[in-house]
């Protein structure tokens, strides 16, 4: 029995698991986890991120392995730039969300009758559809997958001659990243869940730190 492919595939899973703990990935999911979500949704954020990440890597790997092409350096840099801009946008969104926690106006219409009422999100800032954060997390994973596709596919091309083996490697890498990000998102959500809503200053400082870190990492990547 040839143990080299088995070892290589095992390495793919472990590499994906470690890949989930990259600073830019943690920063992106942190901005999502900083929002109050229904119970059980936090781990799903990481799962959907990993799924989107895997889709992007698999499609890029499929093109590279079947067409025997390499991703141009300029295109790879462009993908990284998009990921960096996305991190900055996510960080800014967190900072804006902190400001919106103040009392504000909601407008409602019942038939032809329209009325407004004052509303505050101090106790809860979650008023999106339950699937909206998961869609955002999936999109973030897709962008990060594109940004990392060049390095991964070059690694696969260098060490794997079989197209099927290469695709399996990428899938296992993706599964590892999904598991890793589920663990990361669950861990990141703990401080946001454990700090009581009454401790508004602590909540805001935690969210503020999340936004600033995401913006800083995005700027660092661009520079």
The tens digit of pLDDT for each residue in 7-23 reads 777 888 888 888 888 88
91 burial type by CB count under 10 A (0-12 exposed, 13-18 middle, 19+ buried): buried
Confidence tier at 219 by pLDDT (50, 70, 90): very high
Bridge partners, 113 (sequence order) = 110
Q: Which of 110, 56, 59, 46 is nearest to 79 (CA)?
A: 56
Report the predicted TM-score, pTM, of the whole model to 2 decimal places.
0.76
**Those residues with Cβ within 8 angstroms of residue 26's Cβ, 6 or more apart along the chain or in another chain:** 184, 188
Total number of domains constituting the chain:
1
User: For position 84, what pLDDT does the model report?
Assistant: 93
Three-state DSSP class for residue 1: coil
Domain ranges, residue 203: 3-222
More confident residue, 30 or 6: 30
| 169-217 confidence digits (pLDDT tens) | 888 888 998 999 888 888 887 777 776 655 667 778 888 888 999 999 9
| 100-154 confidence digits (pLDDT tens) | 765 444 555 655 555 554 444 544 444 445 567 788 889 998 998 888 776 776 6
Please tell me the distance from the alpha carbon of residue 6 to that of residue 167, in angstroms, as a whole number.
14
């Amino acid at each position: 029995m040839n143990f080299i492919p088995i070892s290589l595939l095992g390495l793919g899973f472990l590499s994906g698991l470690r890949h989930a703990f990259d600073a830019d990935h943690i920063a992106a999911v942190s901005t999502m986890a900083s929002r109050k979500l229904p119970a059980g949704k936090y781990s799903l954020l990481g799962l959907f991120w990993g799924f989107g990440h895997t889709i992007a890597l698999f499609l890029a790997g499929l093109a590279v392995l079947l067409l025997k092409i390499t991703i141009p350096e300029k295109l790879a840099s462009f993908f990284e730039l998009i990921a960096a801009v996305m991190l900055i946008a996510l960080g800014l969104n967190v900072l804006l969300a902190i400001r919106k926690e103040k009392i504000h106006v909601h407008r409602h219409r019942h038939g032809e009758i329209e009325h407004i009422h004052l509303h505050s999100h101090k106790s809860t800032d979650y008023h999106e559809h339950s699937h909206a954060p998961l869609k955002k997390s999936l999109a973030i994973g897709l962008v990060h997958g594109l940004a990392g596709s060049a390095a991964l596919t070059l690694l696969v091309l260098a060490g794997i001659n079989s197209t099927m083996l290469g695709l399996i490697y990428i899938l296992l890498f993706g599964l590892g990243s999904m598991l890793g990000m589920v663990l990361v998102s669950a861990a990141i959500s703990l401080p946001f869940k454990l700090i009581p809503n009454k401790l508004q200053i602590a909540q805001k400082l935690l969210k503020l730190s999340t936004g600033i870190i995401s913006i800083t990492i995005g700027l660092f990547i661009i520079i």
